[in-house]
Structure 1
Amino acid sequence: MSDTEFGMQGTDIRNGVAVGIVADNEDPEGLGRVKLTFPWRESDDESHWARVATPMAGDEVGTYFLPNVDDEVLVAFDSGDLNHPYVLGSLWNGDQPPPEDNADGENTVKTIKSDSDHKITLDDDDSAGKVEITTSGGHTLTLDDSSGAETITIEDSSGQNTIEFDATKGSIAIESGTKLSVDAPNLEFTADGNISIEASGILTLNGTLVRIN
């Protein structure tokens, strides 16, 4: 879009901030910019490419959360010039509500949630705090700081296969719904106390040489 189409430098000024809608986020230069439309302009009158403010940005480092097309964003303009917009952040609205609702007023839950429902949850509850990573398929990693619990749990979507680290008991538990396999060139098991091997069926030991001492 030319300057004439969107307002010439110095002739199209808007002070303060404005609400815009993301019209395009496929930046041809790969700089993480977006194009915008504004309520006071024609719906097909897109802005110039707008840079997106982010908590951290550097040479191929930083946080990367690019707004989606049709997302509502808050926009500021360099010296009020509409030809140089900057996206300050994204806005929720009646059609695009937040992923949490703070229904209890405690505001203990912080969340990052993607379009496909991958989710990171930070729960700051004093008695049941935890950090949880959940995939859209239902796999979870939970770091639980609940009073008396203090566990790290990895669980698949079926709920049948889990690994749990229990800081309170000083134990690690591995459970599988059907089979548990350990494969390595060499395996070594050492215990300061007893080792118990128990099977409800047949117990088989195979090897070129089996030594029992």
Structure 2
Amino acid sequence: MASIGRVISEMLNESHQGRSGSSRMQGGMIAKVVDNVDPEDRYRVRVSFPWLSDQYTKGTTSDGSDSKVQSHWARITTMMAGKDTGSFWLPEIDDEVMVDFEEGDFSRPIIMGSLWNGPANSPRSLKFSPENQEVEVSNHAQGGANDYRFIRSRAGSTLAFIDKQGSEGVSLRSPKNAEFFIDDTGGGERICMYDSKQNQWLSIETDKKKITLETDTGDILIKAKEKIRLECKNLEVEASENIKVKAGQKITQECTNYKSKSSSSTEMDGGGKMVCKAGRIDLNP
């Protein structure tokens, strides 16, 4: 009697293609991705079944190299798929996946999902603002709290949802740690953007009705092709050293009362002509 492994191997062999009269099997199988360059560009992968012998799994990948490739091109189950819409998460080469077969037809494999294993463990830590803290994310380390959910790419880009009571937030972080962070800590409502070293940031605090744009190390430059307009009830401009205002043509100031004061000296230079006009002028009253 042939072994179960041999029977399954033969059912996987390409001589058993097609939906009509082909061998069938119900249930999923563990497989490894060996090719993710679909020649028809249909977002599919090919897999090998490590538990089968080389005799039944040898094949050729799309680049012409030998590999343990015996499956037909497998479609990928995703949380959303439609015309020009959906979630795009193509498995990597050597990723472990669960494979099922449409109506049990081995010529119509479907990737049901990806699996972690011993060599390819799940992430163990997560870093996020506002304190740039790093936390252990395994539910064992959390004592069963299950407070962190996130998506992390191969390069390290991370979208994280922090559900810890009193410290809720959402973090979108780049591989070099630049971050967009929505912070509801303590019932507050803040939207923050940080650079990789958290030396420059933008903070919007909705509960305090306050927006802060700050840099600890460099300059802030605001540019517009046409016009920059500031509107507010009171405007304060303060510098620890110097303030310089320069225009290519004209500066106009209008107000009800105007006061200019210097604690040391004042100098006015017209360059050409200076006109002082008022209903009354008092010099050194």
Structure 2 length normalisation: TM-score?
Answer: 0.69
* 2:92 aligned residue: 68
Which deviates more, 124-133 or 143-152? Answer: 143-152
* 1:27 aligned residue: 38
* 1:15 aligned residue: 26
Q: Does 1:212 align with 2:259?
A: no
Q: Does 1:202 align with 2:242?
A: yes
Gap change, CA 1:156 and 1:4, over 3 Å in 2: closer
Alignment-mate amino acid for residue 101 of structure 1:
S
* 1:38 aligned residue: 49
Separation in 2 of the partners of 1:74 and 1:85?
10
Alignment of 1:128-207 (within 5 A): 128-176=167-215, 177-184=217-224, 185-192=226-233, 194-207=234-247
Separation in 2 of the partners of 1:53 and 1:126?
33
Task: Pick the aligned partner of 1:126 from 165, 187, 195.
Answer: 165
Q: Does 1:58 align with 2:101?
A: no
- Paired residue total: 210
Higher percent of residues as helix: 2
Gap change, CA 1:7 and 1:18, over 3 Å in 2: farther
Separation in 2 of the partners of 1:202 and 1:152?
31
Say which SS state the counterpart of residue 79 (structure 1) adopts.
helix
Say which SS state the counterpart of residue 239 (structure 2) adopts.
coil
Q: Does 1:89 align with 2:113?
A: yes
Separation in 2 of the partners of 1:202 and 1:6?
79
- Following TM superposition, by how much is the alpha carbon of 1:5 offset from its aligned partner in structure 2, in angstroms? 4.1
Which deviates more, 146-155 or 165-174? Answer: 146-155
- Following TM superposition, by how much is the alpha carbon of 1:12 offset from its aligned partner in structure 2, in angstroms? 3.9
Larger radius of gyration: 2
Q: Runs of 5+ in structure 1 lacking a partner?
A: none
Residue identity over aligned pairs, in percent, reads: 31
Separation in 1 of the partners of 2:211 and 2:147?
29
- What's the C-alpha RMSD, in Å, of the aligned pairs? 1.8
Q: Runs of 5+ in structure 2 lacking a partner?
A: 1-10, 58-67, 124-136, 255-285
- Structure 1 residues 183-210: Cα deviation after superposition (integer angstroms, max 9, x where no partner): 1221221211x21111112211112222
- Structure 1 residues 108-161: Cα deviation after superposition (integer angstroms, max 9, x where no partner): 211110000000001112211100000001110000111243210001113221
Separation in 2 of the partners of 1:57 and 1:85?
17
Say which SS state the counterpart of residue 147 (structure 1) adopts.
helix
